[in-house]
Chains A and B, each alone.
Chain A
Amino acid sequence: MIELGDAIDLAPGVDLVGLRLADPIRGCMIPLNDAARLVVSAATIEEAASALTSAGASDGASDALAFCGVLNTRGLLSVRIPLRARVARRARAFRYGLVLHAPVRRVAVRGPSGVARGLAVPALVLMLALAPVGVVAGVVGLAAAAATGAGIVLHEVGHALALRGVPYALILDGLRPELLHRRLGVVRRRSVAIAGPLLPAAAAVALSLAFRPVAPVVAPLAAHALALSVLADDGRNACGLS
């Protein structure tokens, strides 16, 4: 979805310090070469492309686009696309059967409540996307759609609770959230990985046992427990497979 005219900016919390990118969340300094410094200092991808071309790149535009894409995927660079342009690009691509992904967004959050606030919009979008299914299935279906949205919030809040004392940032890759943090020790990494899926799943079990009629509604929350298996990233992290 990224195009030359898009504005770029270092992601929240990331700073350019001399010839290095300082990322306090990852707890590291990333060395930059001259070309990389030209790109991260530019205000738009077009400006970065011109700077690269002036510095001798044979295809500055394509280099700038590719590099900005990589930095954005790693949560180091924000790419700002106005809503109207984003919708137009999606519509244009959709005509050819392509579904474009919005750029990755890194959000600076403070504490589990900050994570919940940061996830409110994606959760709402997910609820609205599932609402038509809910309408067909009746009130229980609508409530299950709401529980599905609440599930992604609870999942990340679970990770955030386990990350107490460790700085983290929320990464939004479309509707898929994750928490970025520095590398942790084996035991801490395992507990953080388990806490995410465990919170919504345990909530579902507790609610189902306490108020049995709500079991069909909270079933989507229980499905988060599947992320404890090696089929999901969290399960693989918990088993030391990543």
Chain B
Amino acid sequence: MRALVIPFLLGVLAGGFVLLVAAIALGVTADAAGWGSFRIGIGPIVLVEFERRAASTAATFGAGLTLAAAACGALNAAGAAILRRRLR
């Protein structure tokens, strides 16, 4: 069990850190570069939503970030399981 939990948690941490900073950087860049409103996500699951209003801008990070981080964790755990099997 530990052999899967640790890679999963490390994958969540890795994916979470990278996605969070990337999402903030995207919001800052969109604001500075004068981009119009946009939304990144799949269906109802939102990763980042950038909204340009008349006098302000807003960047929203959706639950998609958490789900994407969890997906990174699952991928890492799968990768670790494959590597472990090859090492045997």
Q: A: which residues have CB within 8 A of B?
A: 190, 194, 197-198, 201-202, 204-205, 208-209, 212-213, 215-216, 218-219, 221-223, 225-231, 235-236, 238-241
Q: Using a Cβ–Cβ cut-off of 8 Å, how many residues does chain B contribute to the interface with A?
A: 25
**Is there an interface contact between A228 and B10, defined as CB atoms closer than 8 Å?**
yes
Q: For the complex, give the distance between the alpha carbons of A150 and B65 in Å.
A: 27
> Using Cβ atoms and an 8 Å threshold, which residues of chain A touch B17?
201-202, 204-205, 222, 225
How far is it, in angstroms, between the C-alpha of A205 and the C-alpha of B20 when the chains are bound?
7
> Which of B3, B14, B20 is the most central at the interface, judged by chain A CB atoms within 10 Å of its CB?
B14
Asked if B36 is at the interface of the complex by the 8 Å CB criterion, the answer is no
Instruction: Give CA–CA (A8, B23) in the complex, Å.
Output: 50
Given A222-B17, A225-B14, A228-B10, does the pair A241, B84 have CB atoms closer than 8 Å?
yes
Given A212-B24, A215-B28, are A241 and B76 neighbors across the interface (CB < 8 Å)?
A: no
Q: Known contacts A201-B17, A241-B83; is A219 also within 8 Å of B22 by CB?
A: yes
Among residues of A, the one whose C-beta sits closest to the C-beta of B8 is A239
Tell me the number of A-to-B contacts counted with CB atoms below 8 Å: 84
Contact status of A215 and B21, CB under 8 A, knowing A230-B76, A240-B3: yes
Q: Please indicate the chain A residues that have their CB under 8 angstroms from the CB of B29 in the complex.
A: 216
* B27–chain A nearest beta-carbon distance, Å: 7
Answer yes or no: B25 CB below 8 A from chain A CBs. Answer: yes
Q: Given A229-B11, A239-B10, A240-B3 in contact, is the A218-B21 Cβ separation under 8 Å?
A: yes
By a beta-carbon cutoff of 8 Å, the part of chain B in contact with chain A is 3, 6-7, 10-11, 13-15, 17-18, 20-22, 24-25, 27-29, 72, 76, 79-80, 83-84, 87
Q: Give A202's nearest chain B residue, CB to CB.
A: B17
- In the bound assembly, the distance between CA atoms of A223 and B71 in angstroms comes to 17
When distances are taken between beta carbons in the complex, the residues of chain B under 8 Å from A229 are 10-11, 14, 72, 76, 79
Tell me the nearest residue of chain B to A198, going by C-beta. Answer: B13
Given A225-B14, A230-B83, A238-B6 contact (CB < 8 Å): yes
Point out the residues of chain B lying under 8 angstroms from A223, CB to CB: 18
